[in-house]
Chains A and B, each alone.
Chain A
Amino acid sequence: MIEIKQLHKTFGKVVAVDDVSFLARDGEITGLLGPNGAGKTTTLRCLYTLMKPVRGQILVDGIDAAKDPRAVRRQLGVLPDARGLYKRLTARENIEYFGHLHNLDDATIKQRIDAAIVGLDMRDIIDRRTEGFSQGQRVKTAIARALIHDPKNVILDEPTNGLDVMSTRAMREFLKRLKSEGRCVLFSSHIMQEVAALCDRIVIIAKGRVVADEAPEALRQQTGEANLEDAFVKLIGTEEGLAA
């Protein structure tokens, strides 16, 4: 479970995140929706302790990120916006590297990689060097790497960015499976349809502020719009950034 309370982050005079609060529950998919530059990535970066917020509190499974950032990172599986691989290493070696950094033993790593090969359909690529991987193959490797320690909470920053239709569908199925395993899934997106199709709860961020935090159904009722896209436009008050 991830709790974010009054998170505030500035870069110089620019306020990137302005008193953002929301809750992402276990066994649910929470979507962080907002136009480009709304503060989604910054919020997530604060969450996985890459950045320090100016004020506010972040609790992951009850652990305060400000007090014990390492313990928080241990609870999280993170697929950041930047998902570069080491191209001179094979997919397996890339994943093993992170497993070792999580202090896992070889047997556990092997077992988890075997599971990922099945779960993410990586049989053909697992022992290939990642140089020349397609976008989809890269994302698969990056996800397997992020989940090597079997985290309770999974954070994905724009996970379908750059994926083709088939890979996007596979990604959605994968997120649903994470949810069914009882994990807390938090992902950001600027694509309305994706969030609508997947999420149990939608947190809409615009200009660094939370403008809505509802179930999709409630969102439609709240705005009085039948279709989510119109609801979204109405909430953020602009059409900017919607074109995906």
Chain B
Amino acid sequence: MKASLVVFMKEVRENLRDRRTVINTLLTGPLMAPIMFVILINTVITREIDKADQPLSLPVAGAENAPNLVAALKQNNVDVKPAPDDPERAVREQDADVVLRIPKDFDKAWNKGDPAQVEVVFDQSQRDARSSVDRLRGLLEAYSQRGGAMRLLARGLSPSIIKPLSIADRDQSTPQSRSGTLFSMLPYFFILGCFVGGMALAIDTTAGERERQSLEPLLANPAPRWQIVLGKLGATTVFAITTVIVSIFAFSVVGRLMPTEKLGMSLEIGMGFVPYALIAMLPLAALLATLQTIVAAFAKSYREAQTYVSLIMFFVSIIPTMILTFLPIKQQFWMYMVPLMSQQMTITRLLRGEYVPMSGLAVGFLCTSLGVAILAWLTVRVYRSERLAISA
């Protein structure tokens, strides 16, 4: 095993001298998760807070037909504006989130006690406009109920007779679980961080070594090839793991500082987060480092390797994450056995403050480590092939 150590030390030393690699390992890779998280949270928070505090800007067509209603709206922090000529078009083209149209006969119907119609013009597919629409709806409902109650009172009846059903909401979501969908993207950034951290070495130690024509002299040494390969894999893994460790620590600091409670969410970064996340992520860092190495080993040049590794990075990191993020699969124990899925689930659950069973953590660790062993064995096999040793 001495040769492995020699190769390992040399690869680490050589790559520590490469400024770009060091920056990727210590900065770009690890800070990806926290930075994306800050951007994500800030965008959401700013948008929500803006919408709630600021007056609702509402173009109203035919405001003169219902002065009382318009006055009530204005009292509730609505900024009534003249309507565009064609409200439907204005909404379709996103010039306005929502337009209220009051027909000419509104006052007549209201006074007669008939249902008076108002039209809310909006576009359901505009998710951004939804909170404006909901706010307007709420105001209109309240106005309607108030009117109805007044009418009943005027006839000497209790308003409660038209409320046979009283609905009380008992929301079972916790602040942590509401954060879930937002935070389920986070493991993806950790995984991406691993890739970025190991990428330079995975390529440099394989395709890079071939391209600069140093592989053939290296393999002419008496050291067995499997030991050379293990040394290379070890160096790449150490860089990837460094990225993950820095990433998780940076995140645990940044996450605590984020004002997520303003969103009615809570990010649970307790004492347990760092060790649990590390146990989940460390074997994955090794797995991805080995995967990158094996892919890069097939490439003849640095550039070719970069293409392969980027493709792998895209598919491997995105597919399981997408499945878990957007397909509502119920989380089940077997998922701890699948590398990537296991980490995705563990970290999401940690962030949501949910229980991660020790057995799940252990199964995830073991299965991912098994994956590392299989891939490392494959890499050694690749390096045994004659074709690989020839540079040109």
| Tier of interface size on chain A | 20 to 34
Interface check A97, CB cutoff 8 A = yes
What are the residues of chain A within 8 A of B214 when measuring CB–CB? 82, 84-86
Which B residue's beta carbon lies closest to that of A73? B222
What are the residues of chain B within 8 A of A142 when measuring CB–CB? 217
- Selected from A82, A89, A103, the residue in CB contact (under 8 A) with B2 is A103
Check if A70 sits within 8 Å of B220, measured CB to CB.
no
Q: How far is the CA of A50 from the CA of B389 in the complex (A)?
A: 7
What are the residues of chain B within 8 A of A87 when measuring CB–CB? 212
Check if B14 sits within 8 Å of A101, measured CB to CB.
no
Interface check B69, CB cutoff 8 A = no
Check if B221 sits within 8 Å of A89, measured CB to CB.
no
Interface positions, chain B 102-120, Cβ under 8 Å from A, are: none
Q: How far is the CA of A132 from the CA of B298 in the complex (A)?
A: 28
Interface check B89, CB cutoff 8 A = no
Interface check A51, CB cutoff 8 A = yes
Interface check B258, CB cutoff 8 A = no
| Tier of interface size on chain B | 20 to 34
What are the residues of chain A within 8 A of B7 when measuring CB–CB? 101
Q: Mark B1-38, 1 if CB is under 8 A from A, else 0.
A: 01100110010011101100000000000000000000
Interface check A190, CB cutoff 8 A = no
- Selected from A78, A88, A101, the residue in CB contact (under 8 A) with B17 is A88
How distant is B200 from chain A, measured CB to nearest CB, in Å? 12
Q: How far is the CA of A50 from the CA of B218 in the complex (A)?
A: 10
Q: Mark B183-225, 1 if CB is under 8 A from A, else 0.
A: 0000000000000000000000000010011111111111110
Interface positions, chain A 68-117, Cβ under 8 Å from B, are: 70-71, 73-74, 76, 78-89, 93, 97-98, 100-103
Check if B18 sits within 8 Å of A73, measured CB to CB.
no
Interface check B168, CB cutoff 8 A = no
- Selected from B2, B15, B222, the residue in CB contact (under 8 A) with A74 is B222
Interface check B169, CB cutoff 8 A = no
- Known contacts A86-B14, A89-B14, A97-B6: A78-B217 contact under CB 8 Å: yes
Q: Which of A98, A101, A146 has the most CB of B within 10 A?
A: A101
Check if A101 sits within 8 Å of B386, measured CB to CB.
no
Q: How far is the CA of A70 from the CA of B390 in the complex (A)?
A: 18
- Known contacts A50-B389, A86-B14: A101-B3 contact under CB 8 Å: yes
- Known contacts A83-B213, A85-B214: A50-B2 contact under CB 8 Å: no
How distant is B215 from chain A, measured CB to nearest CB, in Å? 7
Q: How far is the CA of A100 from the CA of B222 in the complex (A)?
A: 11
Q: How far is the CA of A52 from the CA of B389 in the complex (A)?
A: 12
- Selected from A45, A84, A88, A100, the residue in CB contact (under 8 A) with B6 is A100
What are the residues of chain B within 8 A of A50 when measuring CB–CB? 216, 219-220, 386, 389-390
Interface check A48, CB cutoff 8 A = yes
What are the residues of chain B within 8 A of A183 when measuring CB–CB? none
Q: How far is the CA of A105 from the CA of B325 in the complex (A)?
A: 55
Q: Which residues of A contact B (CB under 8 A)?
A: 45, 48, 50-52, 70-71, 73-74, 76, 78-89, 93, 97-98, 100-103, 142, 145-146
Q: Which residues of B contact A (CB under 8 A)?
A: 2-3, 6-7, 10, 13-15, 17-18, 209, 212-224, 386, 389-392
